């Protein structure tokens, strides 16, 4: 049975499309995909052998869920908001998939459309998968997310976005990447390639949702935080949602919440009892399916959805 909140969420999305004069199908056709590396991948990029690439492309073509199994040319798919409806907030979305695939539809497109319905411009990041570096699986995706943040900030006016209200949201492995974007933004991942790289890669807020791999060794079975989770007073404000029955990911998020509090970083954590992993914003009988409404409230109270756009 659909909940009242689900009906309201669907109505909000419908009205958003009605106000723009577009249907969801026509809207999808106008979403621009932008390559984030104009002159090729950064130095040292790991390439996959031809046979593996062929196998991954074949698997992707047959996948009914729309997952992305092979990304060699990272990009941003832009879901803009018209100026008369934009509130100035923008979010880079990092779908999950264990750093091996990207759950493109339910952890990418669905969130982008929902963000648009509340006046937020969304940018789905197609970061490199599958894993290239076994003992440092997030390194090349971190290059991609840093570049993506800089690109959105550099071109903020074009997208009706305030350059000081750009966040990152990700799920599972994408949640891990989101955390890395917030705690490792000063880590130099690549040599600058153009003027885009002169702007900051620090997100103004981060939203790791059922984040994975927060312990050293990318472990999910221990209540620990890894050495890369270097929280300081300059770590961006953080919103988290996770469930108790999702391995030790809830415990890891709780530890991150405590570390944020120790450093006086504004944060909000929603730890639900049931829901498991990988639910996106799909409806269910579990209260966790409404986590995105709590996110909207947090964004409002934190000042990220203000209608005053200063660009």
Min mean pLDDT across 1-10, 158-167, 214-223 is at: 1-10
In degrees and rounded to multiples of 5, residue 267 shows phi and psi of -155, 155
Is the pLDDT confidence value at 11 over 90?
no
Could you report the per-residue pLDDT of 249-285, keeping only the tens digit for each? 999 999 999 999 999 999 999 999 999 999 999 888 8
The domain in which residue 296 lies consists of 32-301
Classified as helix, coil or strand, 194 is coil
| Residue 310 domain flag | no
What whole-number distance in Å separates Cα of residue 174 and Cα of residue 211?
7
Cis amide prior to 130 (ω within 30 degrees): yes
Mean pLDDT computed over 124-129? 98
HSE (CB half, 13 Å, CA atoms) of 308? Answer: 1
Q: Is the pLDDT of residue 12 over 50?
A: no
Other beta carbons less than 10 A from residue 82's beta carbon: 13
Residue 276, domain member (yes or no): yes
- Whether 127 shows a pLDDT value over 70: the answer reads yes
| pLDDT score recorded for residue 69 | 95
* Residue 115, domain member (yes or no): yes
**Mean pLDDT score of the chain:** 91
CA distances from 209 to 46, 173, 175, 176, 190 (A): 28, 10, 6, 9, 27
For residue 117, pLDDT over 50 is answered with: yes
Phi/psi-derived region of residue 108, left when phi > 0, alpha when psi is between -120 and 50, beta in every other case: alpha
pLDDT reported for residue 306 = 83
Report whether 126 contacts 159 (CB < 8 A): no
Global confidence as pTM: 0.89
- The reply to whether 199 falls in a domain is yes
Half-sphere exposure of 70 (CA within 13 A, CB side): 16
- Is there a domain that residue 283 lies in? yes
Query: Is 162 in contact with 309 (CB distance < 8 Å)?
Result: yes
The domain tally of the chain equals 1
Considering the domain boundaries, does residue 25 fall inside one? no
**Residue holding tokens 């963000």?**
115
How does pLDDT run across 30-75, given as a tens digit for each residue? 689 999 999 999 999 999 999 999 999 999 999 999 999 999 999 9
Q: What is the pLDDT of residue 307?
A: 60
User: Is residue 1 assigned to a domain?
Assistant: no
Residue 18 falls inside a structural domain: no
Confidence of residue 81 (pLDDT cuts 50, 70, 90): very high
CATH number at residue 290: 3.40.50.1820
Structure confidence at residue 30 (pLDDT): 66
């Amino acid at each position: 049975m659909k909940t009242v909140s689900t009906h309201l969420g669907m109505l909000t999305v419908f009205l958003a499309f009605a106000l723009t004069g577009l249907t969801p199908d026509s809207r999808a056709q106008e979403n621009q995909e932008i390559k984030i590396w104009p002159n090729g991948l950064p130095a040292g990029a790991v390439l996959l052998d031809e046979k593996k690439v062929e196998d991954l492309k074949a698997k992707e073509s047959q996948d009914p869920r729309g997952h992305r199994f092979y990304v060699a040319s990272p990009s941003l798919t832009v879901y803009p908001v018209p100026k008369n409806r934009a509130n100035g907030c923008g979010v880079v979305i990092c779908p999950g998939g264990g750093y091996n695939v990207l759950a493109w539809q339910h952890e990418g497109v669905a969130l982008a459309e929902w963000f648009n319905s509340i006046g937020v411009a969304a940018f789905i990041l197609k970061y490199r998968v599958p894993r290239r570096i076994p003992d440092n699986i997030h390194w090349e995706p971190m290059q991609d997310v840093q570049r993506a943040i800089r690109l959105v900030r550099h071109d903020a006016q074009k997208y009706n976005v305030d350059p000081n209200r750009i966040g990152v949201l990700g799920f599972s492995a994408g949640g891990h990447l989101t955390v890395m974007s917030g705690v490792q933004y000063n880590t130099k991942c690549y040599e600058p390639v153009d003027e885009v790289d002169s702007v900051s890669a620090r997100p103004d807020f981060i939203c790791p949702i059922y984040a994975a791999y927060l312990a050293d060794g990318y472990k999910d079975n221990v209540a620990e935080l890894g050495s890369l989770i270097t929280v300081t007073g300059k770590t961006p404000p953080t919103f988290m949602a996770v469930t108790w029955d999702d391995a030790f990911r809830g415990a890891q998020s709780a530890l991150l919440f405590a570390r944020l509090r120790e450093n006086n970083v504004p944060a909000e954590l929603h730890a639900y009892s049931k829901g498991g992993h990988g639910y996106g914003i799909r409806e269910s009988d579990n209260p966790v399916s409404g986590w995105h409404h709590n996110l909207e409230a947090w964004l409002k109270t934190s000042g990220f959805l203000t209608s005053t756009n200063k660009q």
